């Protein structure tokens, strides 16, 4: 399900605020101006009469097939409803079948354009947004997309029958109202520059989906949506194929011209890495993103690559770096002392791992927003202090200095020195080594369980495990299948796990779902840490209320600073390229690689089949 949840799809699709004149706002406080585009900071690139996005080929022929493996979720699917908590839906459904009122593009990180909505208008006080639906918009059953469908989608997603994280995402949206048959208005609890974007990115589905069944009982019914693809077969299983709808209503719109060119898109599921790579070499699929540096360095060689049948390419991008790290569950009593978490992080030896395991391909993450303008650096700026000072009583004094340095073993530092520091922190927290283990005052040994659905992480966790042994901490690695891992994570039933947060060029409302106090108490939310901190809540509110990029930058740097000093994660590493293996003879690529994109979505949406593949 999470491949459709905000922010993962939304960070690709759209972030923005309506292009509206400030003079109009001053002269007519309640007025709104309809526009074709919505830009968070007013930077709209394409005019109302634009023909297509600059990075697509508008003459790309339709036809052929692309076969991929998902970057995540190595499991079968057992439902067709991606919006409920239980079960697993097919990969790619969110992007290929469902549409939203607005859609973004890959060369403007904070701008969106009308899709289901022909135009959009925001009142000057930013307390409501109105969308006028495109008269040609149609669901797959041929029925028009109407305001009542949009309202139904909102009411359904915010009900207790949908996954609870949607109620967090739309918590600041008071209501959705059908003004007339093709006009819908969303009212907000307070002015927020991103809220029009949040509702503009909402998946819209037909009122007829499920035939009146309670939403949480819609399992086997194929969604009635409006996107460019439909399911090829309504059967549960492992692999899934989508077929292009030749009657797709938006195929000639500027925001869709040159996009979604394949007749068939197939995602194949392999339950282990070896069989997946062998499938690539055997021609069972055509495109795979590699996440394991050892595989990239050692496996992507041989006759198939030398002959050109297969290609390996590192695609550059300007995306902010993904955050990846070990995440502590703060709900567990033994992990609630910050000194304990800081000590555990000191056992992580990135320099050795990058040298011995990763072939020097990665950079160390030292921020929740790595490789971006939102990364905290040095002492707080005067603008940051203006946000932090009112929260001083709730913050540790260290927050008002530089962000904490991540543990390093680069000379003159060493892992031994770091472990000595860790011993001191653990002793301060009441943990001492005796009788062969690290124990608390009651004599209970310190143990940790690492939960993962990725067996390949064993080689990455093992050095960390060995270092923790020297502190007297016994770390066990528990590998489970995706379905069980999802259940346990939704219920926050874990102690330590690994997390990747895709980079975002304009983080906003998703931060409420990720770090908000209410989300910490919401099963299935993205706040898997269980972080409930009023200071963090306040800084998240500043970020979501930002009306300029400077305000957003300041709020996120202050937030990053506070989060880092909490030592709630062990930051890992990030890469600045997409490592892709693919079959070049089956495809043609656009001449322009956009700056901001997701590798899978870009290939599926902008590549097209070579003549021999059509």
Q: How confident is the model at residue 321 (pLDDT cuts 50, 70, 90)?
A: confident
Please give the average per-residue pLDDT across 51-69, as a whole number. 97
Strands 447-452, 474-479: pairing kind: parallel
Find the CATH number of the domain harbouring 129.
3.40.190.10
71-80, 162-171, 317-326, 464-473 — which is least confidently predicted? 71-80
pLDDT at 165 over 90: no
DSSP string of 166-180?
HHHHTTTEEEEEEEE
pLDDT at 139: 98
Domain shared by 368 and 222, yes or no? no
Q: What tokens were used for 434? A: 């005796």
pLDDT at 126: 87
Domain shared by 109 and 215, yes or no? yes
Q: Which pLDDT tens digit goes with each residue over 478-488?
A: 999 888 998 99
pLDDT at 11 over 50: no
Please give the average per-residue pLDDT across 404-410, as a whole number. 95
Q: Kindly state whether residue 317 falls inside one of the protein's structural domains.
A: no
pLDDT at 32: 56
Q: Indicate the number of domains in the chain.
A: 2
Q: Kindly state whether residue 300 falls inside one of the protein's structural domains.
A: no
Contact 168, 512 (CB under 8 A): yes
Domain shared by 261 and 165, yes or no? yes
Domain shared by 219 and 232, yes or no? yes
pLDDT at 496: 97
pLDDT at 317: 85
By the 10 Å C-beta count (0-12 exposed, 13-18 middle, 19+ buried), 53 is classed as buried
By the 10 Å C-beta count (0-12 exposed, 13-18 middle, 19+ buried), 501 is classed as buried
Enter the DSSP assignment of 543. Answer: H
Tokens 């048959």, residue located: 181
Domain shared by 488 and 524, yes or no? yes
pLDDT at 9: 35
Q: Which pLDDT tens digit goes with each residue over 215-271?
A: 999 999 999 999 999 999 888 888 999 999 999 999 999 999 999 999 999 999 988
Find the CATH number of the domain harbouring 541.
3.10.105.10
Domain shared by 500 and 593, yes or no? no
Contact 563, 536 (CB under 8 A): yes
Rounded CA separation 182/147 (Å):
5
pLDDT at 26 over 70: no
Domain shared by 510 and 583, yes or no? no
Q: How confident is the model at residue 333 (pLDDT cuts 50, 70, 90)?
A: very high
Q: Kindly state whether residue 497 falls inside one of the protein's structural domains.
A: yes
Q: Kindly state whether residue 410 falls inside one of the protein's structural domains.
A: no
Closest CA to 452 of 501, 409, 498, 407: 498
Q: What's the chain's average pLDDT?
A: 90
Domain shared by 520 and 590, yes or no? no
- Give residue 472's domain range: 323-334+349-403+446-574
Q: What tokens were used for 54? A: 């600059």
Give me the helices (H) in 404-457, please.
Answer: 415-428
Q: How confident is the model at residue 33 (pLDDT cuts 50, 70, 90)?
A: low
Q: Kindly state whether residue 523 falls inside one of the protein's structural domains.
A: yes
Contact 544, 329 (CB under 8 A): no
Domain shared by 54 and 27, yes or no? yes
pLDDT at 360 over 90: no
Q: Which pLDDT tens digit goes with each residue over 389-398?
A: 999 999 999 9
Domain shared by 256 and 159, yes or no? yes
Chain mean position to CA 379: 29
Q: Kindly state whether residue 437 falls inside one of the protein's structural domains.
A: no
Q: Kindly state whether residue 290 falls inside one of the protein's structural domains.
A: no
Domain shared by 260 and 394, yes or no? no
**Could you tell me which residues are beta bridge partners of residue 311?**
582
Any residues with CB less than 8 A from the CB of 303 and at least 6 apart, and which? none
Domain shared by 328 and 242, yes or no? no
Q: Kindly state whether residue 439 falls inside one of the protein's structural domains.
A: no
pLDDT at 110: 78
Give me the helices (H) in 457-608, please.
Answer: 458-470, 482-490, 510-515, 517-520, 534-544, 549-566, 599-606
């Amino acid at each position: 399900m999470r491949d459709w949840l905000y922010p993962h799809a939304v960070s690709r699709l759209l972030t923005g605020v309506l292009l509206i004149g400030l003079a109009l706002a001053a002269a007519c406080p309640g007025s709104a101006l309809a526009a074709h585009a919505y830009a968070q900071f007013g930077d709209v690139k394409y005019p109302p009469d634009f023909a297509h996005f600059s990075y697509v080929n508008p003459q790309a022929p339709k036809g052929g097939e692309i076969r991929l493996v998902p970057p995540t979720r190595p499991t079968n699917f057992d439902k067709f409803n991606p919006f409920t908590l239980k079960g697993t839906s097919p990969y790619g459904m969110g992007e290929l079948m469902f549409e939203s009122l607005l859609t973004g593009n890959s060369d403007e990180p904070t701008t969106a354009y009308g899709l289901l909505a022909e135009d959009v208008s925001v009142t000057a006080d930013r307390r409501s947004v109105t969308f006028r639906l495109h008269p040609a918009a149609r669901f797959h059953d041929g029925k028009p997309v109407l305001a009542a469908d949009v309202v139904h989608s909102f009411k359904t997603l915010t009900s207790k029958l949908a996954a609870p994280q949607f109620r967090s995402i739309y918590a600041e949206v008071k209501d959705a109202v059908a003004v007339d048959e093709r006009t819908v208005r969303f009212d907000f609890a307070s002015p927020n520059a991103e809220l029009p974007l949040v509702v503009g990115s909402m998946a819209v589905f037909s009122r007829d989906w499920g035939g009146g069944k309670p939403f949480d009982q819609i399992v086997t019914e194929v969604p009635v949506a409006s996107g460019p693809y439909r399911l090829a077969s309504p059967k549960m299983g492992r692999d899934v194929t989508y077929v292009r709808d030749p009657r797709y209503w938006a195929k000639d719109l500027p925001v869709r011209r040159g996009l979604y060119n394949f007749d068939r898109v197939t995602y194949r599921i392999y339950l282990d890495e070896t069989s997946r790579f062998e499938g690539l070499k055997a021609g069972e699929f055509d495109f795979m993103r590699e996440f394991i540096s050892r595989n990239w360095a050692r496996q992507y060689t041989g006759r198939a690559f030398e002959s050109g049948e297969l290609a390996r390419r590192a695609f550059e991008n300007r995306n902010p770096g993904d955050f990846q790290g070990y995440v502590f569950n703060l709900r567990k009593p033994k992990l609630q002392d910050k000194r304990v978490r800081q000590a555990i992080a000191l056992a992580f030896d990135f320099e050795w791992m990058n040298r011995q395991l990763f072939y020097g391909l990665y950079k160390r993450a030292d921020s929740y927003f790595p490789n971006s303008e939102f990364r905290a650096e040095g002492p707080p700026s005067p603008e940051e202090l203006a946000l932090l000072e009112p929260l001083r009583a709730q913050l540790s004094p260290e927050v008002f200095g530089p962000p904490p340095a991540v543990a390093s073993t680069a000379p003159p530092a060493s892992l031994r020195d770091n472990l000595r520091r860790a011993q001191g922190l653990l002793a301060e927290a009441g943990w001492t080594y005796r009788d062969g283990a690290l124990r608390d005052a009651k004599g209970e040994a310190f143990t940790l369980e690492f939960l993962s659905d990725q067996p390949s992480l064993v080689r990455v966790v093992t050095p960390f495990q060995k270092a923790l042994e020297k502190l007297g901490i016994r770390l066990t690695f528990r590998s489970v299948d995706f379905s069980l891992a999802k259940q346990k994570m939704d219920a926050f039933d874990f102690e330590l796990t690994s997390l990747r947060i895709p980079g975002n060029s304009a983080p906003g409302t998703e931060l409420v779902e990720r770090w908000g106090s209410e989300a910490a108490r919401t099963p299935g939310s993205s706040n898997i840490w269980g972080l409930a901190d009023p200071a963090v809540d306040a800084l998240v509110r500043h970020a979501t209320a930002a009306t300029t990029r400077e305000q957003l930058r300041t709020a996120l740097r202050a937030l990053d600073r506070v989060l880092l000093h909490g030592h709630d994660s062990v930051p890992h590493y990030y890469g600045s390229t997409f490592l892709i293996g693919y079959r070049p003879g089956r495809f043609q690529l656009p001449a322009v690689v956009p700056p901001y994109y997701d590798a899978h979505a870009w290939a599926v949406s902008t590549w097209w089949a070579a003549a021999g593949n059509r």
